Amino acid sequence: MRKIAVVTGTRAEYSYLRPLMRKINESSELKLLVYVTGMHLLKEYGNTIDEIIKDGFKIDKKIDMMMKFDNTLYDMAISIGQGICGFANVLKEDKPDILIVFGDRVEAFAAAIAAAAMGIPIGHINGGDVGQGEIDNDLRHAITKLSHLHFTASNKSTERVLKLGEEKWRVFHVGSLSLDTIFNIQLLSKMDLCKKYSLKDKNLILLLYHPNRIEWVEAADQMKLVVNAVATVAAENDLEIIILYPNAYPGGAQIIGVIREFLKTEKNVKIFENLPHIDYLSLLKASSVFIGNSSSGIIEAPSLGVPYVCIGTRQLNRERANNVIDVGYNKKEIIEGLRKALFDVTFINLVKKRESPYGDGKTSEKIVKILSEIQINKDLMQKKLTY
- Total-model pTM: 0.83
Q: At what angle do helices 190-197 and 277-286 cross, to 10 degrees?
A: 120
What is residue 8's predicted lDDT score, i.e. its pLDDT? 98
Who contacts 181 (Cβ-Cβ below 8 Å, separation ≥6)? 15, 18, 19, 277, 278, 281
Res. 150: pLDDT tops 80: yes
Average pLDDT, the chain: 94
Task: Please report the pLDDT score of residue 132 as a whole number.
Answer: 64
Give Cβ neighbours of residue 56 (< 8 Å, ≥ 6 apart).
none
Interval 241-258 mean pLDDT:
92
> Is the pLDDT assigned to residue 217 strictly greater than 60?
yes
Q: Angle CA(183)–CA(362)–CA(189) in degrees, nearest 5?
A: 10
- Looking at residue 128, the DSSP 8-state letter turns out to be T
Average pLDDT of the segment spanning 77-81: 96
CB 172 within 8 A of CB 149: yes
Smallest Cα–Cα separation from 14: which of 306, 280, 370, 286? 280
Q: What's the sign of the alpha-carbon dihedral 9, 15, 20, 21? A: positive
- Asked if pLDDT for residue 249 goes beyond 90, the answer is no
For 99, 136, 149, 214, the CA distances from 163, given in Å and listed in that order, are 23, 19, 15, 26
Question: Is residue 133 over pLDDT 60?
Answer: no
Q: In the chain, where do the E strands start and end? A: 2-8, 30-37, 61-63, 98-102, 122-125, 149-152, 171-173, 204-208, 240-244, 269-272, 289-292, 308-311, 324-327
| pLDDT for 134 beyond 70 | no
pLDDT over 90 at 317, yes or no: no
Domains of the chain: 2-176+359-381 (3.40.50.2000), 188-351 (3.40.50.2000)
Each residue of 22-54: pLDDT tens digit?
999 999 999 999 999 999 999 888 889 999 999
Residue predicted with more confidence, 303 or 70: 303
CA 180 remoteness from chain centre? 14
Task: Determine which helix (DSSP H) or strand (DSSP E) holds 366, and give its type and residue range.
Answer: helix 363-373
CB neighbour list of residue 375: distance below 8 Å, 6 or more residues apart? none
Q: What is the largest CA-CA distance in the chain?
A: 64
Average pLDDT over residues 98-107: 95
Strand ranges inside 110-223, DSSP E? 122-125, 149-152, 171-173, 204-208
pLDDT-derived band at 160 (thresholds 50, 70, 90) equals: very high
Long-range contacts of 195-198 (CB under 8 A, 24+ apart): 196/279, 197/270, 197/272, 197/279, 198/270
Q: What pLDDT does 179 receive?
A: 93
Report whether pLDDT(213) > 80: no
Torsion angle of alpha carbons 38, 42, 45, 46, nearest 10°? 120
pLDDT band of residue 194 (cuts 50, 70, 90) is very high
Query: In this prediction, what percent of the chain has a pLDDT beyond 70?
Result: 99
Residues 267-289: tens digit of each pLDDT: 889 999 888 889 999 999 999 99
